[in-house]
Structure 1
Amino acid sequence: MLPRPLRTTFALLAAATLTIAGASACGTADAVESGSAGDELAGSKLVVGSKDFTENIVLGKIAVQLLKAHGADVVDKTNLGGTAPNRKALEAGEIDLYWEYSGTGWIEHLKKTEPIQDSAGQFKATADEDLSKNKIRWIGPTPLNNTYALAIRSEKAEELGVKTLSDVAKLAETKPEAVTLCIETEFSTRDDGLPGLSKAYGMKIPKNQVSLLDTGVVYTETDKGQVCDFGEVFTTDGRIAALGLTVLEDDKKFFPIYNAAVTVRQDTYDKNPALEKVLQPVIAKLDDATMQRLNARVDVEGEEPAKVSADWLNEQGLLGSAGDA
């Protein structure tokens, strides 16, 4: 493993490369040949959204390229914003589909307070209720579970003697100045974020020791340990391994299960019944290890999300005779 200063430098350089490359990402996705994998969606016009973090953008690009390869006329609105803007756009008909997570659907959209710890049960309950109440259909789920977690530099975890979130809560009680935390803005307000986590573990962290940062900055600052020692992470993020971070065990199993799936309005699904057939072969292949590799290519190696997604679809033989993206 590279020394920590070099790992941090490479991660920052990759992030800078990604920022520059991002402007051409949509054009890259457009290089996929329409109808090259089949014509099941010929005549359809579909608008695809996504959230604004790497994994969801990559998943969004996968949907854009796959649907186009099956004959659809696709409008790419990936990187639309956070959870709320995408859901509102879906409900308003401004987009036709985007990738969502079962735990987010259950806690955020359906306003449930108690997650279901069984993966299949959580997905079914979320999908059934969202369809009956909101006419939103869930296509999936993927095997990947992109749940929240707190991480810390491995050497700092050993120094502080923390392995679990209960250990962090105890440390915050006995030595409060030792617990500094970097999180995203969305995590600071969600019931399945810091408010719920603090309640579940009795974790009291002074507000002046919690920093709100962009996703990528959370990882690099957690790695550097200057602004914060603990950081909110996604468990399928490739930067965890690249930066040598240790994920702390959620020993009270607070965080819900977050299996990704495609959410689509029922009216759009009714007009395009082939969506299920087209999407399911991709959905079945997206497990934790696969997503970690794809995320790392973007966040660690600095590649464009559109290229990463097209490369993977081609490797899996899911774009038919489509050319390189």
Structure 2
Amino acid sequence: MLALLLVASCGLESGSAVPLRVGPGSIRPIPALDGVRITVGSKDFTEQNILGYLIEFALTAAGAEVRDLTDIVGSNSLRDAQLHGQIDIAYDYTGTGWINYLGRENPVPGSDEQFTAVRDADLTAHGMVWAAMAPMNNTYAMVANPGTAADKSITSLSDYANLVNTDPDAAATCVGTEFNVRQDGFPGMARKYDIDTGKVRKQIVQDSLVFQATADGNQCRFGSVAATDGRIPALNLKLLTDDRAFFPKYNAALVMRKSFADAHPQVIAVMEPISRLLTNESITELNRKVDIEGREPATVARTWLIDQGFVTPG
């Protein structure tokens, strides 16, 4: 109840207008969506804001009356807002749905398998529909300082684990506070890769500080990240291969209440071609434009949709 009161107090009952204009492109006006009021939500970080705006502009071009409720603080607040009808549609992550919302401890191997599992279970348990899964997988990952990766021939997590166990000082590691304690983070990774945790030279820092600290190579040589963060290519960090397939799959997919999906099946049809183009490479580049170039998420999302021909400037 307290969470719902906080959601309501933040103005989530009505939302605001879509921030930029768009017109039809390959997405054409759909009579069944003409004037239909649809509220779009997202969480409060770069990638989620971009994904939210992609939905907003696409459905606006299709003729819906879209309201903007992006930038909600935290997964649980977004979820509560969806369950209680304040938000109609959002992109969320399959791993988050499985572990956080459904309380399952063990992720399902494989992106398609994880999507199917969360789709079926969430529909049964909460009447929530998952659809139009994208190839992008915003899972946890480890990165290496480029010089260290080259000097020590580190390309995979198995290579990293071997370095920790044989030359701990060369494997100094920065980890985010949440990654440090989550079972799908460092503790589980250490078990999976037989890392001697007693030898790890580990520093716990804010997630935002991991990137530059790893790139500098002074404080740490390795760091924990989200795999689609735009700062990885911008700082030339080397993403390590998860060669034992430890990290859960966090593919983005549309989430909505069954009543909304049944009433407006056209929404999924509009969004499916967009989801198909959301690869790790494409979303990482969009994230980079925001986090490195300082551009606004709404502008980045709109420009990409225009470049792909889905919408026009309006």
Task: Quickly name the TM-score band, shorter chain normalised.
Answer: 0.7 to 0.9
Partner of 1:187: helix, strand, or coil? coil
- Number of residue equivalences: 296
Pairing 1:168-207 to 2, within 5 Å after superposition: 168-203=160-195, 204=197
Alpha-carbon distance, 1:185 to partner: 3.7
Q: Contact 1:107–1:192 (CA<8 Å) still a contact in 2?
A: no
Q: Contact 1:237–1:296 (CA<8 Å) still a contact in 2?
A: yes
Partner of 1:263: helix, strand, or coil? strand
Q: Contact 1:146–1:234 (CA<8 Å) still a contact in 2?
A: yes
Structure scoring higher RCO (CA < 8 A, sep ≥ 6) equals: 1
Tell me what 2:204 maps to: 211
Q: Distance in 1 between matches of 2:106 and 2:51?
A: 27
Tell me what 1:145 maps to: 137
Q: Contact 1:28–1:307 (CA<8 Å) still a contact in 2?
A: no
Q: Distance in 1 between matches of 2:313 and 2:182?
A: 41
Alpha-carbon distance, 1:303 to partner: 1.4
Alpha-carbon RMSD: 2.7
Alpha-carbon distance, 1:59 to partner: 0.8
Pairing 1:33-44 to 2, within 5 Å after superposition: 33=22, 37-39=28-30, 40-44=32-36
Say whether 1:95 aligns with 2:87.
yes
Alpha-carbon distance, 1:311 to partner: 0.7
Say whether 1:235 aligns with 2:224.
no
**For structure 2, which runs of at least 5 residues remain unmatched after alignment?**
1-14
Q: Distance in 2 between matches of 1:181 and 1:87?
A: 33
Alpha-carbon distance, 1:141 to partner: 0.9
Alpha-carbon distance, 1:87 to partner: 2.1
Partner of 1:188: helix, strand, or coil? coil
2:98 pairs with one of 89, 106, 115? 106
Q: Contact 1:69–1:322 (CA<8 Å) still a contact in 2?
A: no
Partner of 1:67: helix, strand, or coil? helix
**For structure 1, which runs of at least 5 residues remain unmatched after alignment?**
1-25
Say whether 1:76 aligns with 2:65.
no
User: TM-score, normalising length from structure 2?
Assistant: 0.83
Alpha-carbon distance, 1:224 to partner: 1.6
User: TM-score, normalising length from structure 1?
Assistant: 0.80
Q: Distance in 1 between matches of 2:16 and 2:62?
A: 18
Q: Distance in 1 between matches of 2:80 and 2:168?
A: 39
**Higher relative helix content:** 1
Alpha-carbon distance, 1:151 to partner: 0.2
Give the stretch that moved more between structures: 255-264 or 163-172.
Answer: 163-172
Q: Which residue identity is paired with 1:219?
A: F
Residues 52-86 of structure 1 deviation map (CA, whole Å, 9 limit, x = unaligned): 23222211111121122222222222121232332
Identity fraction in percent: 38
Q: Contact 1:62–1:310 (CA<8 Å) still a contact in 2?
A: yes
Tell me what 1:294 maps to: 286
Alpha-carbon distance, 1:99 to partner: 1.1
Partner of 1:183: helix, strand, or coil? strand
Q: Distance in 1 between matches of 2:17 and 2:212?
A: 28
